Amino acid sequence: MSSINLPLILTLAVLITGLIWLFDALVLARPRKAKLAAVEQQFSGMSLTTDAQKEAFVEAKDVAAKEPLLVEYAKSFFPVLFIVFFLRSFLVEPFQIPSGSMIPTLEIGDFILVNKFAYGVRLPVLNKEVIPVSKPKRGDVMVFFPPHAPETYYIKRVIGLPGDRISYNNHVLTINGQVIPEKLEAVLPVGAPYMRVVKETIDGKEFTAHKHLIPGELSRHGSWVVPAGHYFMMGDNRDNSYDSRGWGFVSEDMIVGKAFTVWMHWEKFLSIPSFDHVGLIK
């Protein structure tokens, strides 16, 4: 997913526009108020009976009260930026899926919404949890920053919780000694050389995964013990996903939120958006 630090950019934009507005209210507005008072005093003795006199009075007031252009922009943008900042930081944040690592659950071009408070309310930019809510559960689809690319958003499925023993050998997933069952749905003529479409069930959550008939490098053999405060993540497109099997565990302070719905699909700029794939993320 995108490596642009949008939370930082948005936070700076809100801070800068807010400070400009505050500086204007405390410092710059005083001379304007004095000029406006002088104009009103100057015209106070006039009857202002003609249209020309009224227009002159209005024009003089407008000139006296005119704000600097930068202040005008700051006052216009600050409310909008603050609302967007609040929504993205504490409620819901939109993302677009750029890769196929979560196929078939999420396709390239899917626009998703991420619940920002599902795993606790966190400070923007610092990502520090300030109000605990709940912890990730096995089977959740989660957005996070991986250890090897701490400024890039990733999305995978939660497979292992702190303390879990995970093994993945020739596409057989085992959690704490229990083999995760899979049900074959179809065999597709893609992959290396064919792709199995299977249903997996983890802690009562059923989802669809893709697995090559011949396991890829990360699907052949591996075992891990998830350390405290960390999570083991895997993509549903098991042989086309670079995940915890390759780069390790995700710490709690790198969690962004829980992906919960697809609201649009738009793969290319010149293509037509589609709503056929809209729905809750399983």
Indicate which residues carry an active-site annotation.
Answer: 101, 156
Total Cβ atoms within 10 A of residue 15: 13
Instruction: Provide CB contacts within 8 A for 252, sequence distance 6+.
Output: 129, 229, 230, 231
Contact 157, 139 (CB under 8 A): yes
Nearest-Å Rg of the Cα atoms of the chain is 28
Dihedral (CA of 128, 132, 138, 142) sign: negative
Euclidean distance between CA atoms 164 and 234, whole angstroms? 14
Q: Quick one: tokens of 84? A: 């967007």
Q: Which candidate, 139, 97, 140, 98, places its Cα nearest to that of 115?
A: 140
Q: What is the DSSP code string of 77-108?
A: HHHHHHHHHHIIIIIEEEEE--SSTTTTTS-T
Pairing between β-strand 141-144 and β-strand 255-265 as defined by DSSP bridges: antiparallel
- Cβ atoms of 55 and 43 closer than 8 Å: no
Listed residue (103, 98, 99) closest to 277, CA to CA? 103
Q: How many angstroms separate the CA atoms of 23 and 32, rounded? A: 13
